[in-house]
Amino acid sequence: MRFKRGENRLAATFQVEEKDQPTELPMTHAGKLCAVIFAMGLSLALVARMAADEPKPTPENTISLRLAEPVPAQKFDPSPKFWITDVTDRSGNPQPLLVLKDRGGVFLDREPIKILREAINDSLKSANLLAADPGSADLSIRLYLFHFGLAPGSGLDLFSKVEFSAMVKNPKTGESQEVKAAGTSIGKGAFRKKNVQKNVEENIQEALKDSTRNFVRGVQLKQAVNGLWKAPEKAVAASGTGDRRN
C-alpha cells in the first residue's frame, strides 16, 4: 500500500502484486510410456477375465439337432426334381454353435447351415422330389440362413426362431425366384441345467420343423415351381394318335 498527498487530502493507492500462477509440469517421455503400459495391462486383464468367463463346448453341454422325421412336402403334378446347391449363413453370428451362453453354455454339435440343409434335403427326398445329382435336377435351390436358435423372449420362456430364404432357379433358363420361410417356437425354461438343455433342444427343433414345413408346403414354393418350370410334353403314342402316311 502506498500513500499519496493530494490537494486537501491524503490519497491511498493500493497495489496488489499478482502471485505467480502454478505451472503444469510437462509429462516426460518416461511418464507417457508408463501410462501407456498401465492402460495396456489393464485392457489385457479385462480381456483375460472375459475369456475366462466364456463357456466352452463339452460333451455335457452339447446338443444334437435333427428332425425326428421328414416333413411331408406338398404334391406337384407333374413333380420336378430339386437339388440344394449351397447353404450360406447370413446371420452374422460370430458363434453359430453357441445357442445359450448362460448356465455354462449350450452348444450345437454341427453348424446351423448343415442342420438346415439336412432337414430340407430329407423332406424333399421322402416325397421323391430330390434329384439323384445336380445334373438331373429340374430346379436348383440355394439357401440363405438369417437366424437359427434362441431369440429374445420374456421371463423364463424360451423363444426359438429359424428363418431363411431360398433362391429357386431353373438351370436351363437361368430364371430364379425367391422363397421365404420362417418357423418359431415358444417353450418354458427350467432351473436345472439338464432340463435347460433338454428344453432348448426341443424348442429349437420345433422351430426348425416349423420353418421346414412352411418351405416345402408353402404357397411361395408352389408359385415358384409353376412360374419357373414346365413339365416336358409327353411323347406321342406310337399308335392311334400320330400322323399316318401310306
Mean pLDDT value across the chain: 82
- The DSSP element (H or E) to which 212 belongs, if any, is helix 193-216
Measured N-to-C along each axis, helices 193-216 and 112-126 cross at an angle, to the nearest 10 degrees, of 50
Q: Is 203 helix (H, G, I), strand (E, B) or coil?
A: helix
Between 22-31, 116-125, 143-152, the lowest mean confidence (pLDDT) is in 22-31
Radius of gyration of the chain, Cα coordinates, nearest whole angstrom: 36
- Phi/psi of residue 86, nearest 5 degrees: -165, 160
**What is the CB neighbour count within 10 angstroms for residue 127?**
19
Q: What is the pLDDT of residues 190-206, one digit of tens each?
A: 656 678 889 999 999 99
Provide mean pLDDT across the span 2-11. 49
What CATH number labels 79-228? 3.40.50.10610
Percentage of the chain beyond pLDDT 90 is 61
Is the overall model pTM greater than 0.85, yes or no? Answer: no
How many contiguous H segments (helices) and E segments (strands) does the chain have? 4, 9
The reported pLDDT for the residue numbered 245 is 47
The reported pLDDT for the residue numbered 70 is 97
- Sort 77 into a burial class: Cβ within 10 Å, 0-12 / 13-18 / 19+: exposed
Torsion of CA 104, 110, 111, 117, to 10 degrees: -140
The reported pLDDT for the residue numbered 234 is 43
CA nearest to 213, candidates 90, 148, 122, 87? 122
Provide mean pLDDT across the span 80-92. 98
Beta-strand ranges (E) seen in 189-220 are none
Instruction: Answer yes or no: is pLDDT of 52 > 50.
Output: no
**What is the CB neighbour count within 10 angstroms for residue 192?**
9
The reported pLDDT for the residue numbered 183 is 97
